[in-house]
Amino acid sequence: MLSHELSANQIKEKIIKREITAQEVIEELFEWINLKEPLIKAYLCLDRDGAFLKAKEVDKKLDNGDKVGLLAGVPVALKDNICTVDIKTTCASKILEDFIPPYDAFVVKRIKEEDAIIIGKTNLDEFAMGSSNENSAFHVTRNPWNTDCIPGGSGGGSAAAVTADTVFMALGSDTGGSVRQPSAFCGNVGCKPTYGRVSRYGLVAFASSLDQIGSVTKDVYDAALLLQVVSGHDGFDSTSATVGVPDYISDINNVDGNLKIGVPKEFFGEGLNSEVGSAVMNALEIYKKNGAELIDLSLPHCGYAVATYYIIATAEASSNLARYDGVRYGHRSQLSEDNIIDMYSRVRAEGFGSEVKRRILLGNYVLSSGFYEDYYLKASKVRNLIRNDFEDAFKKVDCIISPTCPTPAFRIGEKITDPLQMYLSDIYTIPANLVGIPGISVPCGFTNTGLPIGMQILGKHFDERKILKVAKLFENGTDFHLKKPELN
Amino acid sequence: MKYEVVMGLETHAELDTESKLFCGCSTKFGSEPNTQTCPVCLGLPGVLPVMNKKAFEHSLKAALSLSCEISEFTNFDRKSYYYPDLPKNYQTSQNYFNIGNNGYVDIVVKGKEKRIDIHNVHLEEEAGKLVHPETSGANYSLVDFNRAGVPLLEIVTQPDMRSVEEVESYMQTLRNILLYIGVSDCKMQEGSLRFEASISLREEGSNVLGNRVEIKNLNSMKAVLKVIAYEISRQSSLLDKGEDVLMETRLWDDVDSVSRRMRSKEEAHDYRYFPEPDLVPVWIDQEWIDETRTTIPELPVSKRQRFVNEYTISDYDAGILTDDKLLADYFEECVGLSQDSPKELSNWIINDVLRELNERKTNVQDFIVSPKMLVDLVKIKPAIGSSIAKDVFVEMINTGKTAPSIVKEKSLTQMGDVSELNDIVAKVIDENPKAAEDYGKGKKSALTFLIGQTMKVTKGKANPKILTEIFKEKLSAGSK
């Protein structure tokens, strides 16, 4: 097996055992990237020099017999909305095309401390707004399973890179499904932890009350490993939780007691692709065979989740994106400016793409005087109702299982002219963001045409440990996660 | 036509904290531009705010001092508008759940007390500062973000003020309270205390409010008073002509002393307030309120009342003494050392100490004459007389010596021995027969001359009261 085909944990073990040096891993990885990246275009920027520098440092530590971190020598990619000191962070937007942050995000500091090697920054829909990667201002990333298809969004770059083995693991952000949906479309494991579990400091904000940093990995064990590193309280994020972080890794194979799995009817209704539906039903049967109890549930307010989400997310986005005005950094128009309003208009007209503009307009509309009560405030109330639905459900079950997305990956261009259809692609992932609970997507099958299908496991607040275990239980009995696309 | 003027005031006070509201940057005034900034207060992508606890506590203290109802649940909101001095193009402020609501400030105007209602007190962040180049035709402006993110307390009144005097008294009372509780240095020349006024006129006796004009950019109390006078005359002349006063926001131009239209009602900002998702709500429990209350000192209005009752000084004098907490403390320290003469101590402080402080542009804390020294001077005064006491006071300031030691050094104790003075007076009358004669003819000023002559002989040590008596007696006896 070639080194890049291994999981993150496997390559780390090999490096620690000195079976391969971190520098050799980087060398082989970049050879593979040179071959496959032109087909996939997962990256916006690669940091070859930085990677070698860090690899050398890790090897030296091992030479000296020094202690190394939990991610020693593991190549990691970062979605390009996570700030990295001295490396451009563009959010796939023209407005930040040349922006180099003067600071590292909390998660970047953490993985650096644990000796991970940052390979590069991956593509996304501009400012993480989109479900297909087609809203990137720079290029469209391809799905490694079928390069005519989208890899999902917004974190399509990270998912495609992990699937194409051009990196071992990646960090992304999940505001409405941006980690889980592309992971489902690309056949890898995507985990969105509880809101507040991982600091958002240094994640370029899209919708602050929904944004959560998450992991994209080749298997469940790697997800536990990466989450173990990035979870925990951060004094620079007021919304970061002070809840203690349990050990995700050591007893990941033990599901304690009788597992009760909730199956919500609202997630298996109209609009669900039949192949996806039956793959998830088959998965539920596997759980049943393993002794789990399946409990039918209703989450009656989830039907309003997408509408609620697009009010809250756009409202927050319109405000979060107001700072991109060309005054202090970022794009500045080459055209002459008569006054300050002129300057703002040109900077933002030229700098933002059409989906971002659409959401800023929507957000400003729902917050404007006279509409605030009808839209934002009402949406906040519905959000509470959805939260209540889940709280009630979790009194009866340990976790909830559903498809991650209603369909497998669609073709490039298929939905780009129909934003509402595009928005529905996140119908099953959005509730977890509104409620703030953790969710993980694991591969659970393939369509006739060979596209991966993802299953979503949702857990209680701060109960990542449980959903990782439930995911691992399934993974241990299946081999969907081991399948590799042919990349020619 | 006669109009009644209806006014309300919004006050912005920069809170006195070491670091900014949402980051660790220093709040020091007057540093090189953009040297007190970081990714957070520059609004770089990805940054998040973390609340400065001290700023919040200061706000709570202020809200309590202004007799506000304290909200159990407070939250922050984003106020959106575009301006180059605002890094995020929204200001984190409070709109839906302020720290304090429905408070009041009692003011005194022409001896009459009046209550000004406070609509709300809330905490927000300061903006940066635009610097416009002075060279003509320059096509740029500079921004200094040192001030961006400094904690700012906003205090909003109801439209309760009806005269320039009321507004002036309110501003002074409010400033005094903020200084007393130590939450702001209130330095207007550094922009720590700023005002926005709303002014409308209505026909006297009418219950309907007239169209309101809001005036921004008032960086001193003087400017507020000037703008009110200006607006009253501008608005009443419009109304006299039968024209409407437009509801609008105007800017005060301190150089030309005029207000100019900034934006009309139609152009007013829609701030699109919504709850700040990057901060968590703050719950204020009774324990926190009680704890904060214990840190609030006696406020100027009650101190003034107490001074009148306890020390039997006039309300006017009590007002001057309590106008400055340090001065009030100085006075009370003096009274503590010598209970028998509060009135005299108050006179000394108001007439002499204050004059010296003003001349020397210093505050009472740094004043060389300590309360103990002043009390000693007042105690020794009967022995040296008022006029010498004044000289000794000046000497004390110049040398830092105590009154008893100056008096001893210069042997300034007054001559009160009548027989000794009798001889001297007789001698002076002998030497100045013309003056003695003039006095006998009814020329009163002659007596002053004679006393002056006696003072010369005694080097000022004679007690002028006793002296006058002796002269009167001797001269009237002589004329008989």
- Residue B19 and residue B208 in contact, taking contact as beta carbons nearer than 8 Å: no
DSSP 8-state symbol, A326: S
Nearest to A318 by CA among A353, A288, A363: A363
User: Between chains, do B45 and A323 touch, taking CB under 8 Å as contact?
Assistant: yes
What's chain B's length in residues?
A: 480
Q: What is the pLDDT of residues A327-374, one digit of tens each?
A: 999 999 888 778 889 999 999 999 999 999 999 999 999 999 999 999
**Domain containing B306: what range?**
300-409
B191 shares a domain with B258: yes
For residue A406 the two structure tokens come to: 């209603």
The domain spanning residue B474 has which CATH number? 1.10.10.410
B364 shares a domain with B247: no
User: Between chains, do A83 and B90 touch, taking CB under 8 Å as contact?
Assistant: no
B267 shares a domain with B179: yes
Dihedral (CA of B18, B24, B28, B29) sign: negative
Domain termination residue (choose one: B387, B409, B431):
B409
Pairwise CA distance, residues A348 & A361, whole Å: 12
Q: Is A45 on the interface with B (CB under 8 A)?
A: no
Q: Is B315 on the interface with A (CB under 8 A)?
A: no
pLDDT of residue B477: 58
**Global ipTM:** 0.95
B229 shares a domain with B260: yes
Dihedral (CA of B368, B370, B373, B377) sign: positive
Q: What percent of chain B lies above the pLDDT cut of 90?
A: 65
> Which residues of A form the catalytic set?
79, 154, 178
B326 shares a domain with B270: no
pLDDT of residue A215: 98
Of B39, B48, B90, the CB nearest to A238: B48
User: Between chains, do B43 and A328 touch, taking CB under 8 Å as contact?
Assistant: yes
Q: Read off the pLDDT band of B416 (50, 70, 90).
A: low
Kindly list the structural domains of chain A, giving each domain's residue range(s) and its CATH number in brackets, ordered by start: 3-258+436-482 (3.90.1300.10)
Q: Read off the pLDDT band of B479 (50, 70, 90).
A: very low
For strand A293-297 and strand A260-264, is the pairing parallel, antiparallel, or unpaired? parallel
Please name the residue of chain A whose CA is at the shortest distance from the CA of residue B275: A316
User: Between chains, do B90 and A322 touch, taking CB under 8 Å as contact?
Assistant: yes
Read off the pLDDT of each residue in B384-400 and give the average, rounded to a whole number.
Answer: 87
AA identity, residue A62: L
Q: Is B45 on the interface with A (CB under 8 A)?
A: yes
Q: What is the pLDDT of residues A199-223, one digit of tens each?
A: 999 999 999 999 999 999 999 999 9
Q: Residue A397: exposed, middle, or buried by beta-carbon count in 10 A (0-12, 13-18, 19+)?
A: buried
Among A82, A319, A384, which would you mutate to test the B interface (most chain B Cβ atoms within 10 Å of its Cβ)?
A319
For residue B322, pLDDT over 70 is answered with yes
Residues in Cβ contact with A398 at an 8 Å cutoff, skipping those fewer than 6 apart: A259, A260, A261, A459, A460, A466, A470
For residue B152, pLDDT over 90 is answered with yes
Pairwise CA distance, residues A128 & A130, whole Å: 6
B123 shares a domain with B14: yes
Mean pLDDT of chain B: 91
Strand-pair partners of A170: A77, A216
Q: What is the pLDDT of residues B27-60, one digit of tens each?
A: 999 999 999 999 999 999 999 999 999 999 999 9
For residue B69, pLDDT over 60 is answered with yes
Residues in Cβ contact with A59 at an 8 Å cutoff, skipping those fewer than 6 apart: A21, A22, A23, A73
B349 shares a domain with B261: no
B189 shares a domain with B85: yes
Pairwise CA distance, residues A427 & A429, whole Å: 6
Domain termination residue (choose one: B350, B385, B409):
B409
Q: Collect all residues of chain B within an 8 Å Cβ-Cβ radius of residue A200.
A: 48
User: Between chains, do A372 and B89 touch, taking CB under 8 Å as contact?
Assistant: no
Please name the residue of chain B whose CA is at the shortest distance from the CA of residue A344: B82
Q: Collect all residues of chain B within an 8 Å Cβ-Cβ radius of residue A239.
A: 48, 277-280
Number of domains in chain B: 3
B360 shares a domain with B279: no
Read off the pLDDT of each residue in B357-363 and give the average, rounded to a whole number.
Answer: 86
pLDDT of residue B415: 67
Q: Collect all residues of chain B within an 8 Å Cβ-Cβ radius of residue A96.
A: 45
- Virtual torsion, Cα B301, B306, B308, B309, nearest 10 deg: 140
B129 shares a domain with B209: yes
Q: Is A335 on the interface with B (CB under 8 A)?
A: no
pLDDT of residue A68: 97
Residue numbers in chain A where pLDDT is lower than 70: 256
Q: Is A101 on the interface with B (CB under 8 A)?
A: yes
Pairwise CA distance, residues A90 & A97, whole Å: 5
* HSE value, Cβ hemisphere, 13 Å, CA-based, for B144: 15
For strand A169-173 and strand A43-46, is the pairing parallel, antiparallel, or unpaired? unpaired
For residue B429, pLDDT over 90 is answered with no
Nearest to A195 by CA among A178, A215, A175: A175
B160 shares a domain with B14: yes
Angle at A109 between CA A107 and CA A112, to 5 degrees: 105
pLDDT of residue B239: 93
B311 shares a domain with B279: no
pLDDT of residue A405: 97
Q: Hey, which residues 133-162 in chain B have their CB within 8 Å of chain A?
A: 143
Domain termination residue (choose one: B392, B409, B426):
B409
For residue B480, pLDDT over 60 is answered with no
Sheet containing B69-70: which strands, arranged edge to edge? Answer: B69-70, B100-109, B112-125, B151-157, B3-14, B193-203, B213-218, B248-253, B258-264
Q: How many CB pairs (< 8 A) connect A and B?
A: 99
User: Between chains, do A202 and B51 touch, taking CB under 8 Å as contact?
Assistant: no
